[in-house]
Amino acid sequence: MSVSGHASRVIFRLYYFYRGVRDLQLLEERILRDGKVRDGGVLKVDSFLNHQMDVRLFAEMAKEFHRLFGSENVSKILTIEASGIGIACICAQVFECPVIFAKKTKTKNIAGDVYTSKVESFTHGVTYDIIVSKEFIGPGDRVLIIDDFLANGAALTGLSQIVKDSGATLVGAGVAIEKAFQPGGKLLRSSGIRVESLAKIKSMEGGSVVFCQ
Ligand code: 5GP
């Protein structure tokens, strides 16, 4: 390889490394500024992620997910209603593929056949069925799961079960905020799923958020 070819690869990598670091910092800074720690290990991010949505921040997050998973030939992005949908849509724009959201249901009477899985909600303390129409994921697909939070891992486990049942390939999961003091991340990674989170919280004791290094 020529010296100039090597140099440009180094510059390219440094640029992407810098970009990744910057995007991580954006979200961390926003959590520190606008996040509110609630009882029971819940972080409220309603002003930019879960209720009011900062789409420009989402665009930066989507770029970072694309930096991480862009070489995986993702054909579908899968998320779960409701709070994953916003980020997943912006990601789908960057990945140039459709986005599917798993519906939470009590009835299962969606038209045609569906894949279903059970999810125990961390924030609401109830178990519900999630469904995805068989029309939208199949064996030829390469699926990236996107969600806002990773806590105990129930949502991502339910979604990955659906991908498995469909015969599609799960390329990994991209999460905006991982609460590393809860077991979900460890659980999913130890089952062989590639999980990438943009902000990883080590603790929220005393109401202050501390990030993993
Ligand atoms: P898990 O299934 O990993 O226990 O929890 C993930 C889901 O619960 C996410 O889809 C998210 O909607 C919700 N969630 C978990 N922890 C938090 C939190 O601290 N704050 C908010 N706003 N949602 C959370």
Counting residues of the chain whose pLDDT is more than 90, the rounded percentage is: 79
pLDDT in tens, 149-189: 999 999 999 999 999 999 999 999 999 999 999 999 999 99
Are the beta carbons of 211 and 201 closer than 8 angstroms?
Answer: yes
Average pLDDT over residues 130-144: 97
Q: Could you list the residue range(s) of the whole structural domain that residue 182 is in?
A: 3-211
**CATH code of the domain covering residue 141:** 3.40.50.2020
Pick from 3-7, 31-35, 65-69, 162-166: least confident: 3-7
Read off the pLDDT of residues 102-120 as tens digits, 9 standing for 90 and up: 999 866 555 569 999 999 8
In whole angstroms, give the CA distance from residue 213 to residue 90.
27
List, chain by chain if needed, residues with CB within 6 Å of any ligand 1 atom: 42-45, 50, 80, 83-84, 122-123, 147-155, 184
* Ligand 1 mutation target, pool 118, 123, 203, most atoms within 8 A of CB: 123
- Number of domains making up the chain: 1
- Specify the ligand 1 atom closest to the Cα of 49: 22
Q: How far is the CA of 151 from the centre of ligand 1 (A)?
A: 6
